[in-house]
């Protein structure tokens, strides 16, 4: 019987396991693919900004084909020209398209738009100071009435049944009724009833402006300018 001899690897040169060799091969392949991807991205990014093949050109140009007009024009197209009943109309804003223009005025969600103002009607009651503080957190202020037409609009959205704080207080030592924007109350437009004391604040009920102690808690309305787009 012949004896079988098994060839052993030389001493000091252990044989690399098969799984180790496979892992090394996969690693080198991954490196090659990664280098190729980097080169391809470099070539892509070096294209002309206005070329159709360029990522920057095709995205920045939007629907207009120019970088500078991207953003404003596309926002106008999406926000201002979408019909109010369209499912594509954004839920984050209330909009009103300007007659004879592609632009529009925007208000935040849950605000009511009228003219160039946005209005937010409270659902709870607070003192005058706390109401104004709440408006400031919304980057707004308490309602400043401009004319009787605006008063009628406010009466309609509040159903005329609630006392509503106005951005109207008495300044001293003059003792004059003054709006939060610094303008005096036009008594020809708004006849106010009640005392003009240091703790008096303006309030609206229906079509009337009255004086009320500022520490009383009641509803309020915040206002801010619309965003013209």
Question: To which residue do tokens 């098994």 refer?
Answer: 6
Query: pTM higher than 0.75, yes or no?
Result: no
Radius of gyration of the chain (CA): 35
Domains and CATH numbers, the chain: 55-112 (no CATH), 125-223 (3.10.100.10)
Distance, in Å, from the CA atom of 59 to the CA atom of 65, rounded to the nearest integer, reads 9
Tell me which residue of 120, 132, 106 sits closest to 157, measured CA to CA: 120
pLDDT tens string, the chain, 229 residues long: the values are 444 455 444 444 455 555 555 555 545 554 544 444 434 334 333 333 333 333 233 323 344 444 455 566 666 666 676 544 444 444 456 556 555 555 688 899 899 999 999 999 999 999 999 999 999 999 999 999 999 999 999 999 887 667 999 999 999 888 999 999 999 999 999 999 999 998 999 999 888 999 999 999 999 999 999 988 7
């Amino acid at each position: 019987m012949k004896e079988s001899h098994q060839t052993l690897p030389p001493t000091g040169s252990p044989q690399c396991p098969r799984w180790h060799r496979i892992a090394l091969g996969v690693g080198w392949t991954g490196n090659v693919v990664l280098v190729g991807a980097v080169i391809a991205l470099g070539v892509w990014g070096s294209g002309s900004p206005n070329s159709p093949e360029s990522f920057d050109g095709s995205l920045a140009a939007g629907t207009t084909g120019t970088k500078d007009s991207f953003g404003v024009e596309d926002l106008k197209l999406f926000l201002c020209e979408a019909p109010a009943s369209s499912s594509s109309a954004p839920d984050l804003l209330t909009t009103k398209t300007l007659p004879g223009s592609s632009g529009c005025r925007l208000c935040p969600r849950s605000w009511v738009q009228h003219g160039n103002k946005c209005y937010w009607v409270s659902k709870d009651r607070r003192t005058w100071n706390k109401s104004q503080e709440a408006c400031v957190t919304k980057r707004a202020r308490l309602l400043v009435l401009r004319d009787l037409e605006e008063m009628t609009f406010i009466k309609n959205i509040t159903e005329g049944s609630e006392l509503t704080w106005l951005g109207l207080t008495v300044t001293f030592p003059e003792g004059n009724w003054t709006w939060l924007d610094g303008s005096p109350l036009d008594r020809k437009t708004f006849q106010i009833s009640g005392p003009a004391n240091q703790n008096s604040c303006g309030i609206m009920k229906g079509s009337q402006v009255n004086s009320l102690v500022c520490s009383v808690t009641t509803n309020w309305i915040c206002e801010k300018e619309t965003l013209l787009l």
